[in-house]
Structure 1
Amino acid sequence: MRKHKRQLRWLAFLAWITYVIYVQIYSFYIMEQDYDACNGGGLVAWVSAVILLYIMLFRLILPHIHHVRRLKRSICIRPFECCRVTCQYTLVRLATCAIVFVLIVMLTHQGRFVPSTHQCIALSGYFAIILIAYFLSVEPEKIDWRLVIKNLLIQIIIVYSMMIWTFGRVLLQCTAEKITVFFSFSKEAAAVVFSDQLPHMLAIELLCTLTLTGCYMHILYYLGILQSFFHKLGFILEMITGATAVEAICAALCTLCGGVEAAVVLEPYIVLLTMSELHTFIVSGFAFMTGVTLSLYMSLGIDQVNLMTANFATCSGVLALSKIVYPETDRSVTTYKDLKFLDRDEYNLVDAAVRGATAIIKVLVNVISGLIAMVSVVNMSNTFVGWVLENIGIPGMDIIGILSFISRPLIFLMGVEWQYSDKVARLFIIKTVKNENFAYRAFSKLQQTDPIPMREQAVTTALLYGYSNIAHIGVITALMTVLAPERRQDISITVMRAMFTSVLVNMLTASVIGALVTPHDLKLAQNVTNLNVSAHWTR
């Protein structure tokens, strides 16, 4: 089969094209179904379009990119040089600023974007978080502001396209449904092994989802698909974000499957990371959640689109703030050009699947033991402080109560109205001190008894997103030291700073949502998501 690899690829490609054409004919002409981009023929068409774009980009365009660059250089060098010389004059700069100001005023008077008081407050909170990150920076003079600003702009675009743009919101809801379906396969397997009568246990769900992820990752690695995908993804992300390939791939993988799974997949590169890259790597593990926890909180009634927006917007936020707090000072060996993949000794697909599943067990044991240890310590400390305060005449107060009172003004700066800021602040501190599981369950109960407005719900969902809490320090430390015991000291030094950075990342995402989103936008977008995709296309 290796001798006829090229012919087999062409045969598979032609078979896929034939299948796609037949599905379109069967769905829309024979069965006369409505067009739905999330199911049936519509989903097949969208997936095929993405695959064709991928093939065109990496087989036809990028191999000849040097010709495009040469043409661009010859055509554009004179106009750009002219613009550079022209912009040196103060009058030209003032005129440009005046034009931008007039455009903003025109948009404002047209009613497309009329910032409310709370949006302006959220904008001030956004800059306050960046300023806090700057003060926490290890070497502020080494910050690459071009990389930071680029990723901050990407985050704003992601939030706008997913929460305000109607088609983006529909697409995001579709993605959330498919993630839930993917992880449901592991739940069916768990029902066979453990019995479907067992109550919900996070350890069992983690075991099932991590086993499924490890199994598929090893299969894709054995087939060579994962290496090819990472190599090309690293090139694209490094070009777009400005971060190194492994940093960008780690953030993208955390977005898709979670920090634990991303660390397992990128295990060979952890020992090669610089201190700045290791900091970004650990921040990614804190700031994101796994797919199983996403589906779990969706089942509690947390808005799917708000959760998925926080998930995708966190990716750029991690790359921006982590490079402010810990700028790069060393030469990286994990860029796109340096990216190499290790050979593994799996014999066939079955061997790869079994090895991927069994490799997860050691990681899972360390994750669960670290989580149990840190949650126990946090609960004991919280109870002790409550007992001490009760003895001096302050009953009902503990660490969570004290920190909630202190953080209330900061939550107000995220764009939350003052009358709801005490509730949101308490949820945020529960998540930071204890666990996001406690916070989301409390949030779900709050929505049933005393609901807060839609805009505050979106901000709160972003604030509670991620594993950025004290209890998860044990999980990250145990996980990383198992995967890279040579970096134990570096991990121990970096982990606390990374946890605080991840808290800032979640607050930054919440501020962006608070600054951009209005109740009117959320109602409009929610009405669209209640309709099917075909209704959106007929408008």
Structure 2
Amino acid sequence: MMYYLGAVQWLLQHLGRLVQKIMDTSGTESLVAAAAPFLGQIENALLVKDYLEHMTSSELHACMTAGFATVSGSTLQGYVALGVSAKNIITACIMSIPCSLALSKIRYPETEESMTRGRVVAPPRDTGEANILHAIGNGAMTGINLSLLVAANLIAVIALVDLADFLLTWLGEFVSIRGLTMEMVVGYVLYPYAWLLGVPTENILDVSQLLGLKFIANEFVAYNKLNDASNGPSLKSQMTVRAQTIAEFALCGFGNFSSIAQQIGTLGALAPSRKGEVSRIALSACITGSIATTVTAAIVSMVI
């Protein structure tokens, strides 16, 4: 409805200008970064679909990174239902906008001339709806489709993770390592990283395992594990307040394997000639976006 009335376009265009002024980025990447916390990694690409074929490689990387670094407003209720603080999610998303652009430009500096340098492109106003009731109906349908997509991805990813865990546990028995799982392996790999985020010593392994689970599966699975109390006290209740806050900030992003596939599919469909390039830089953008998300957690850890 708000998109039909033009409120979303007005807000995003002004936010895009603000981001452009602060970060000195091009119009397309500024708009996408500003829209990412509101629309998400798939929908925000539609705002600049007419420019995707002409974007520089650095712009493309920045747009993808912004999508990986944040979560969308449409999924906010799902996280809150799991027990995550809405305040922390919203704050993390806003902080991730400049973080994602800054880190993306460090990882993939601009070496070409952007066609939207110095101006913010306006999102299209024509949404195709006949009236506001039509817009509300389309919005509801989009929400349902998104929910089903998220649910389907969750089922598929959780099944794959469980299969991998089963195989690792089975192999671990042969070398006398009990409870060997992907979560355990990645948790120990990311242990130093969690320490650098400022997590209290007694909770470092817990947070590092959550970070690994988020990257392997997705943030929903990680948040669910953090707050799940179905088999006794939740992990969150056993952590310090500082560790809880850092974990909620560090997990607040779409940087995971399933999101890589979604971005490649979406951008490849919108810009077929760039699909190869999108596939080539997708992993880099995902890692950069994930780091941007954890940078917000590191900043927060300095003030709590």
Among all aligned residue pairs of Structure 1 and Structure 2, give the percentage whose two residues are the same amino acid.
26
Aligned to 1:255: 37
Answering whether residue 98 of structure 2 is matched by residue 311 of structure 1, we say no
Q: Is the 8 A contact 2:129 2:135 kept in 1?
A: no
Larger radius of gyration: 1
Aligned to 1:412: 195
Q: Select 1:513's aligned residue among 285, 300, 303.
A: 300
1:391 CA displacement: 2.7
Answering whether residue 109 of structure 2 is matched by residue 322 of structure 1, we say no
Aligned to 1:271: 53
Q: Is the 8 A contact 2:16 2:30 kept in 1?
A: yes
Q: Structure 2 counterpart of 1:294, which letter?
A: L
Q: How does 1:123-202 map to 2 (within 5 A)?
A: none
Aligned to 1:467: 254
1:249 CA displacement: 1.6
Return 322-331 or 450-459, whichever deviates more: 450-459
1:260 CA displacement: 2.5
Q: Which runs of 5 or more structure 1 residues have no equivalent in the other structure?
A: 1-214, 518-539
Q: Secondary structure, in 3 states, of the residue corresponding to 2:263?
A: helix
RMSD over equivalenced CA pairs, Å: 3.1
Normalising to structure 2: TM-score of the pair? 0.84
Q: Is the 8 A contact 2:28 2:120 kept in 1?
A: no
Aligned to 1:295: 77
Q: Is the 8 A contact 1:259 1:290 kept in 2?
A: yes
For residues 220 and 419 of structure 1, the distance between their equivalents in structure 2, rounded to whole angstroms, comes to: 51
Q: Is the 8 A contact 2:16 2:120 kept in 1?
A: no
Q: Is the 8 A contact 1:346 1:352 kept in 2?
A: no
1:497 CA displacement: 0.7
The 3 A distance-change label for structure 1 pair 335 and 229 is: farther
Per-residue Cα deviation, 1:78-118 (whole angstroms, up to 9, x for no partner): xxxxxxxxxxxxxxxxxxxxxxxxxxxxxxxxxxxxxxxxx
Per-residue Cα deviation, 1:409-452 (whole angstroms, up to 9, x for no partner): 22111111111111111111111111211111111137746422
1:321 CA displacement: 0.6
Per-residue Cα deviation, 1:371-399 (whole angstroms, up to 9, x for no partner): 76655544433433332222332231022
Q: How does 1:326-475 map to 2 (within 5 A)?
A: 326-337=108-119, 339=121, 344=126, 346=128, 348-349=130-131, 353=135, 376-445=159-228, 448=234, 450-475=237-262
Normalising to structure 1: TM-score of the pair? 0.50
1:317 CA displacement: 0.8
Aligned to 1:484: 271
Q: Structure 2 counterpart of 1:321, which letter?
A: L
Aligned to 1:527: none
Q: Secondary structure, in 3 states, of the residue corresponding to 1:471?
A: helix
For residues 342 and 438 of structure 1, the distance between their equivalents in structure 2, rounded to whole angstroms, comes to: 35
Q: Secondary structure, in 3 states, of the residue corresponding to 2:228?
A: helix
For residues 295 and 343 of structure 1, the distance between their equivalents in structure 2, rounded to whole angstroms, comes to: 27
For residues 72 and 127 of structure 2, the distance between their equivalents in structure 1, rounded to whole angstroms, comes to: 29
Q: Which runs of 5 or more structure 2 residues have no equivalent in the other structure?
A: none
Q: Select 1:241's aligned residue among 11, 23, 33.
A: 23
Q: Is the 8 A contact 1:455 1:514 kept in 2?
A: yes
Q: Select 1:494's aligned residue among 281, 293, 303.
A: 281
Q: Is the 8 A contact 2:251 2:294 kept in 1?
A: no
For residues 15 and 42 of structure 2, the distance between their equivalents in structure 1, rounded to whole angstroms, comes to: 20
For residues 312 and 260 of structure 1, the distance between their equivalents in structure 2, rounded to whole angstroms, comes to: 18
Per-residue Cα deviation, 1:201-255 (whole angstroms, up to 9, x for no partner): xxxxxxxxxxxxxx542x245xxx6555554443332112211122122111112
Q: Point out the structure with the larger helix share.
A: 1
For residues 304 and 339 of structure 1, the distance between their equivalents in structure 2, rounded to whole angstroms, comes to: 30
For residues 345 and 307 of structure 1, the distance between their equivalents in structure 2, rounded to whole angstroms, comes to: 29
Q: Secondary structure, in 3 states, of the residue corresponding to 2:190?
A: helix
Count of residues in correspondence between the two structures:
298
